[in-house]
Structure 1
Amino acid sequence: MPVPPLGLYIHLPWCERKCPYCDFNSHELSERPERAYVDTLLRDLDNDLSLAKDRIVDTVFIGGGTPSLFQVSAIDTLLRGIKNSVTLSVDAEITLEANPGSAEADKFIGLKEAGINRLSIGVQSFADAQLNALGRVHDREQALRAIALARQAGFDNFNLDLMHGLPGQSLQGATEDLKQAISTGAPHISWYQLTIEPNTIFYKQTPRLPTEDSLASIQQAGEQRLNRENYAQYEVSAYSKEGFQCRHNRNYWTFGDYLGIGAGAHGKVTSSDGRIVRRAKRRQPADYMAAIDAAFVSSTRVLNNSEVIGEFMLNALRLNEGFSLSLFADRTGLDCATVEPRIASLCERGLLLQQGAHVATTELGRRFLDTVVAEFF
């Protein structure tokens, strides 16, 4: 098997406030043990180096939680340690998730100087009433200020996270949010529908959300607006100007490899014998920081062929462009004959389109993507 590209995901698990819709591994904590946690991250990375086998790391993504709450000095120490442990490609994409709060935005210049070259700013909405309903700690003016400061700091490459289908949101409200995001000139917009997940406050106390018909109207109007403004949809919820697709996320969607360090982080690595191995790290920050050597790992499993097929399709079919059968063979090590009957069946149902050796969802298939993917598990 050809060696897939390799990324690095780093999880910083703390935030100022846990949002009522959030099911990520994030924890409220006003005083963060930043130095100790960074030291632990670097020990964790060193423990994972045997998986990388001197491979070049193409992308780094620092997510959370709210990574921008960390002091610039801690992020600088982290990036220096990473560069001492692994070889980064000369044009490595290094992303950090940031919230628009004033304390975080004031750090943007320092983060750029430390080596971050892409920001992902969690705006979610530009309407104060919606931000309040979502439990966000910033307001509209702070969001606009953060975007302006990102540009002033030299971040030509940044993403805005924006939600739709919010409590009580109308079609006009959703399109106004999108209009404001577009007006900032952001080169990348992640525009996705609010979903109610188990183990969240919204799951226990579900707010009144737009109807299915309203959601469909919002989705259609939003996609048309983004297309008119030259934002190409390249994945289910990702839209970008030319040249600004998120390389780290594309690596996930094309079934590339990635190391995962930090509390609750997950990784996927293809071994030299072709096995695809998934590892997860201890979820609770205190347990993770107390771990020694291999004890960082909470679970390891080798995917069987059925899981490999299902996971490849779960990722690759999110891309509007789909995938080539040669990519399937390269990333999975399996013969294309193992999936061709299912592809043919889905083509007959109008859910997939195969042109030569290339496969992608149809417009109908994208609407029922969960159904399409389920056929491969």
Structure 2
Amino acid sequence: MKVDPGFGRQLMEQEERYGIPDPRGLEQVFLRADGVYLWDLQGNRFMDFLGGDGAVSQGHNHTRIAASMVEQCLRLSLVTQGVRHARLPPYLEKLCTLTGFGAALPMNTGAEAVEVAIKAARRWAYRVKGVAPGRAEILVFTGNAHGQTTTLAGLSGDPDAADDFGPFGAGFRMAAFGDAVAAAEAVGPATCAILVEPIQGRAGLRIPPRGFLRSLRELCDRRGLLLLADEVQCGLGRTGKLFAFEHEGIRPDGAILGKALSGGFYPASAFLASREIMDLLTPGSHRSTFAGNPLACAVASAALDVLAEEHLVDRSAELGAYFLARLRSMECPRVREARGLGLWAALELREPAARAACEALAREGLLAQALGDSILALTPPLIITREQLDWSLERLERVLAH
């Protein structure tokens, strides 16, 4: 159904008046979605390479996840914390069985799950290492997305910290991402854990040098630290493996999931760790009204089923290799570098033209995301076909060549 062309402008003005709109947003106002496509108010169809920052890995409005959500909505959506419900236990078992971790604590957003991981690390430092409360430090890396969490941004003392992912303040140490030597030098006597995104998505799809994660694992083993992997964006198949840390054959002490765990329907995240670490989070030590609610459990459980039964991790690996090879073979002098892993790629431009490129691509029916001034992020749903990738690659090459 098409609507008055002025209605979209009216909606944007309404958002500007009453909200805090993202100045980087495109001009389209979207009305519906299905699979790998979005439609705007005028009925124009767009291939979605935004992918909800990875939250719609299973595709928009997957019927199986939608059916699970609707059924649960009509049955039981929320109970008070401390009251048991039938959806949580089988979901926890499914999540732990799939990921190989001993225990899981469901939360709502990736930001909350990161906070849980930090709390667990600090309790571990006190109980196991004897570090006094309030003294334990977490090592994090430049360019990370953890600073978007409310708690961490507040700790920095910088009201604009969430805009540039830092700097961190008391309780945190910083090191250059990808620099194993800098990480080792940054560990202090009160450092209890290293928190790392195996691949930094929001910083421009930064992939560390081969061996960096392994060196962090070895550093943690030598110094008696916990290694915590923030897989909120890169986890659950996005890079062609279930977890991005698997590309280096390591195992962290804890992992954080989000985005794709939601199936694109309802906020769901989780902190995963061993039983011993999870037991440090005693009942009531970390509570959230909606965490692990029946509706979220139903949605996340169905999202995991789709991921496994439709072999989306394997699809990401196979099509991702093809996708990156095609991107690197494009004859586009304006592209400095094409990088990626699985169905997740970025094109770094030689000039600050990412926003203009996104606008030109949108006119061609393809949606991409500008990260900063010169990086195009490409995050298609994992259900995409080779034919749909070819269609998108043709548009990319045409736009970037001109």
Tell me if both proteins adopt one fold, taking TM over 0.5 as the criterion: no
- TM-score by length of structure 2 reads 0.30
Structure with the higher strand share, 1 or 2: 1
Structure-1-length-normalised TM-score: 0.32
